[in-house]
Amino acid sequence: MNRGDRRERIFMDDADRQRFVETLGEVCAKTGWQVHAYVLMPNHFHWVVETP
């Protein structure tokens, strides 16, 4: 879980969320992480990630 400073928004729009998911996919491809679940809220996100 990660939250914005002072609970401020970390995703301003759908384009921000899309870039975040794309970047997460790139990281997973490079590192071998497996994302089992995630949720993106306006001011925070949660991941369930398995790392090798």
Q: What is the pLDDT of residue 14?
A: 95
Q: Is 16 exposed, middle or buried (0-12, 13-18, 19+ CB in 10 A)?
A: middle
Q: How many CB atoms lie within 10 A of CB 24?
A: 17
Q: What is the pLDDT of residue 7?
A: 86
Please list the rounded mean pLDDT of every run of 10 residues in the chain (52 residues): 90 95 97 97 95 94
Total-model pTM = 0.85
